[in-house]
Amino acid sequence: MKLEIAHARCGYPGHPVVTDISFSVASGEAVYLLGPNGSGKTTLFKTVLGLLPRQGGSVLIDGKDTASWPRQRVARKLAYVPQAHTPPFPFTVRDVVLMARTAHLGMFGMPSRRDAAIAEEAIDALGLSALAGARYTEISGGERQLVLIARAVAQETEFLVLDEPTSNLDFGNQVKLLRIIRALVQRGFGLLVTTHLPDHAFLCASRVALLHRGTLMAQGKPEEVLSEARLQETYGIQLKIAEVEPGLRVCVPVLN
Amino acid sequence: MRAPQNAGTLAPAKRHPAMALAILGMLFLVIVWWSLTLGRYDVPLATWWKLVLAPDETGIPGQILLQVRLPRIAAGILIGAGLSAAGAAYQGIFRNPMVSPDILGASAGAGFGAAGAILFDFSVAGVQAASFAFGLLAVLLTCAAAARLKRAGDPILTLVLVGILVGAVFTALVSLVKYAADPYSKLPAITLWLMGSLAAINPKDLAFAVLPMSIGLVPLYFLRWNLNVMAFGEEEARALGADTGKLRWIIIFCATLLTAASVAIAGMVGWVGLVIPHLARMIVGPDYRTLLPASVLLGAGYLLLTDDLARSVMANEIPLGIITALVGAPFFLTLMMRSQRGWV
């Protein structure tokens, strides 16, 4: 299973944000997308998900172009994990996860017992059983992010697209989330993840794509792409990368 | 891990949605029976029985029941159910617990269409059509203007404010129609009708209302799962596999049709579409699979009770719209205070 982005041009008519980008995500790997604010991460993301019309190039799933696919067919292959948010109504955690089954229902369909069982399984898999009956609007931000991942799992897709999944979490919850990302990769999902933290890419990424001003600066293994020189150029700051022990790299900014 | 909090709200019956609906259903049937027996003309139980067996032999009591009380009660059920379902649907599609047919301008638009149609002596179907056309126009204007103001800040507040503005324009146009109307014949008719009343319902009006009400209500009922999904916003709903473009239009069309049909037969009956979905959400939770049927049952029951008040409190009938506002607005304030979460 392979998700390929080939020569993609994304943005709005007459206002391209991202030009000529090619990369791919295979089952059982996590591809991390890094880049400063305004580098076009979100635009690229939304184009991959089919939420923004693409301005050129193609998004292929198993070699087939998704351009003409109906919404539901895309939703059976790609699940979206947005940043934790608050909907206007106090749905239960169980209801929020069950929403994922819409990808497998007809327009007038209702989730069946089987759909409910799939949702319950996803809730269990993320260790959320104790919260299943709680109101989604009243749990913590970290818990909400996990619920959204459970929802993506219940969607039964091959690929998950996660938008800065650690950005609103405390340190402990960030680590918990990184563990979950690893577990998802081991389960065979293909993951496309955006982040602002090179450390997270060092810990979890199979491959990294570095986005700068709408083009890909580099892509490949994290230790190759995320070099001191390249990160300094991309973000315009001073920093050091150290290998604390074999295979464990960290990135630290230098303030003076 | 925090335990779910129920402070200040009625305990949600989410685990037993079927039970909650059954109780609401029984309550509704009791209200219907009570409304049927209520009235200045006392109908003995024996007459009811005769009405079922041999409707022709019942004389005046039978005539009153068949020609006056039954149509009036059926209209009350339709209007209460329609306005509540429309309110619940608007709230889901706009992800905004503060909107309703009144606040989006739909009622004012439909009111203008119907008042104009009465001025020009349109038929019942003509009043319905004009009411729907202007109701839909008002909602579209509200949506379009709010979409252009997307960056103005809080989208919930923006939509509410734009809706009030659009409503104000159509209310002014209604005044213009009244100003132009003949003060001895048309003006009293339009004014009384705008206050909202079921007093003038006849079986023919009712027959004209059943069709648009069904066209509005049935699709909403079958799309109620998608209303859940739409509450998460356009982008997320699409990522979850919902065909949001199509859904949005079907739902707005149906909700506006329900509003317009209500306005066309009973005038401006305010607040029902805002208060009832909130009350239903407090009782059964936000899941539209149970919220929509619960809103329909509660709304129908509520409107019947209000109409019972309208026809029994004073010697002259009180216009329905006055009671729904007098009861609805303070009731809504109480709901908001009890919920402690701001919006219910």
- Of the residues A155, A184, A199, the one at which a domain ends: A155
Predicted pLDDT at B9: 41
List own/partner pairs for A24-27 with CB under 8 A and 24 or more apart.
Answer: A25/A159, A25/A190, A25/A191, A25/A192, A26/A1, A26/A2, A26/A190, A27/A1, A27/A2, A27/A158, A27/A159, A27/A188, A27/A189, A27/A190
C-alpha separations of B4 from A91, A138, B145, B285 in Å = 12, 7, 38, 13
DSSP label of A92: B
User: Which pLDDT value is given to residue B15?
Assistant: 57
Please indicate, yes or no, if residue A29 is contained in any of the structural domains. yes
Spell out which residues of chain A touch residue B241, defining contact as CB-CB under 8 Å: 71-72, 74-76, 102-105, 155
Residue B340 has a pLDDT of 58
pLDDT at B151: 66
Q: Does B223 touch chain A (CB under 8 A)?
A: yes
Single-letter code of the amino acid located at B31: I
Collect all residues from A whose CB is shorter than 8 A from any CB in B.
46, 49-51, 70-72, 74-76, 78-80, 82, 87-92, 95, 99-100, 102-105, 107-111, 130-131, 133-135, 137-140, 143, 155
pLDDT at position B5: 41
> Is B2 touching A (CB cutoff 8 A)?
yes
Say how many C-beta atoms besides its own lie within 10 A of residue A195's C-beta: 24
Among chain B residues, the shortest Cα distance to A161 is held by: B239
The pTM of this model reads 0.90
CB–CB of B242 and A71 under 8 A? yes
CB pair distance less than 8 Å for B4 and A135: yes
Question: B287 CB near a chain A CB, below 8 Å?
Answer: yes
Question: How many Å apart are CA A242 and CA B24, to the nearest integer?
Answer: 66
Nearest-neighbour CA in chain B from A111: distance (Å) = 8
Q: How far apart are CA A189 and CA A194, in angstroms?
A: 16
Domain ranges in chain B?
80-339
Helix (H) or strand (E) holding A2: strand A2-12
Q: Distance from CA of residue B110 to its chain's centroid?
A: 13
Residue type, B121: D
Buried b / exposed e over A84-114, threshold 16 CB at 10 Å, is beebbbbbbbbbbbbbbbbbbbeeeeebeee
Q: Are B226 and A50 within 8 A, CB to CB?
A: no
Residue A2's pLDDT is 94
User: For residue range A143-192, what is the model confidence (pLDDT) as tens digits?
Assistant: 999 999 999 999 999 999 999 999 888 999 999 999 999 999 999 999 99
* Continuous segment of H or E residues that includes residue A209: strand A207-212
pLDDT at B4: 41
Say yes or no: A64 and A119 in one domain: no
Q: Using alpha carbons only, give the angle A77, A83, A84 rounded to the nearest 5 degrees.
A: 115
- Encode pLDDT of B164-184 as tens digits: 999 999 999 999 999 999 888
Tally of structural domains, chain A:
2
Q: How many CB atoms lie within 10 A of CB B207?
A: 11
Residues A81, A163 contacting (CB under 8 angstroms): yes
Q: Are A47 and A116 within one domain? A: no
Instruction: Report the pLDDT value the prediction gives residue B57, as an integer from 0 to 100.
Output: 66
Provide the H-helix boundaries in chain B: 17-37, 45-53, 59-63, 70-93, 106-119, 124-148, 155-180, 186-194, 203-222, 224-230, 234-239, 244-266, 272-284, 288-312, 320-339
Residue A21 lies in a domain: yes
Instruction: Select the residue of B96, B229, B247 nearest A99 (Cβ to Cβ).
Output: B229
Domain membership of residue A21 as a residue range: 1-77+157-227
Question: Does 1.10.3470.10 match the CATH number of domain B80-339?
Answer: yes
Q: What percent of chain B has pLDDT over 90?
A: 52
**Residue B84 and residue B90: Cα distance in Å, rounded?**
10
Size of interface A-B (CB pairs under 8 A): 104
A67 and A4 in one domain? yes
Q: Retrieve residue B139's tokens.
A: 């909602």
The DSSP 8-state label assigned to residue B69 in this structure reads I
Q: A60 and A163 share a domain? A: yes
Contact A102/B14, CB-based, under 8 Å? no
Same domain, residue pair A68 and A161: yes
A100 min Cα distance to partner chain B (Å): 6
Chain A interface, mutation test: which of B95, B99, B156, B238, most A Cβ atoms within 10 Å? B238
Which among B242, B247, B286 is the nearest to A89, CB-wise?
B286
pLDDT of res. A207: 96
Q: Residue A96: inside a domain, yes or no?
A: yes
Residues of B whose CB is below 8 A from A46: 235
Cβ atoms of B109 and B336 closer than 8 Å: no
Question: What is the rounded distance in angstroms from the CA atom of residue A214 to the CA atom of residue A35?
Answer: 9
For chain B, how long is the longest CA-to-CA vector? 69
Q: How far is B219 from chain A (nearest CA, A)?
A: 9
DSSP state of B111: H
Domain of residue A72, CATH code: 3.40.50.300
ipTM given for this complex: 0.93
Instruction: Dump pLDDT digits (tens) for B38-97.
Output: 877 777 777 777 777 776 666 777 777 778 888 999 999 999 999 999 999 999 998 888
Q: Which regions in chain B score pLDDT beneath 70?
A: 1-15, 55-58, 151-153, 339-344
- pLDDT profile of chain A (256 residues), mean per 10: 93 88 96 92 91 92 94 96 88 96 94 97 96 94 95 97 92 94 96 95 96 92 94 94 93 92
